[in-house]
Amino acid sequence: MSSRIHRVTMFKLPSPPDQQKLLEAYKVLEREHKKEDGKPYILSMKTGVTISDPRSRGWTVVNKAEFASLEDMQYYDKECKAHAALKEKVKTLGIQGGVLYGIMVVYFEADPFTL
């Protein structure tokens, strides 16, 4: 039995107006994500602005998405039109360090014995 895939994406986006634009872009993604069969495939998605804290090290917006499988997450990365539109929107925002250094993506399968 495979575990769900949890994906965390963080952005260094210092401008509060740009942060709000990114939050709005994620709301569009949440409404419009679908596979070819018309069915949504993201199990859950939460996005927000970080709470000011030195440990944040400049990361200001965080998205956490949950997928039923690695294949669904790969579809999100490579084929989802709604995610492609979000990535284009991100390029227009003031990402500190550009997309190479101002965005971090990690994903993992949760240990089934954790809460």
Domain residue ranges in the chain = 5-107
Round to whole Å and give the CA distance between 41 and 56: 30
3-state secondary structure (DSSP) of residue 42: strand
State pLDDT tens for residues 65-98. 999 999 999 999 999 999 999 999 999 999 998 8
CATH level 3 topology of 5-107: Alpha-Beta Plaits (3.30.70)
Round to whole Å and give the CA distance between 113 and 115: 7
Give, in order, the Cα–Cα distances in Å from 11 to each of 37, 50, 93, 97.
31, 10, 11, 10
Q: For residue 111, which amino acid is it? A: D
Determine the pLDDT at residue 35.
Answer: 85
User: Which residues in the chain show pLDDT less than 50?
Assistant: 1
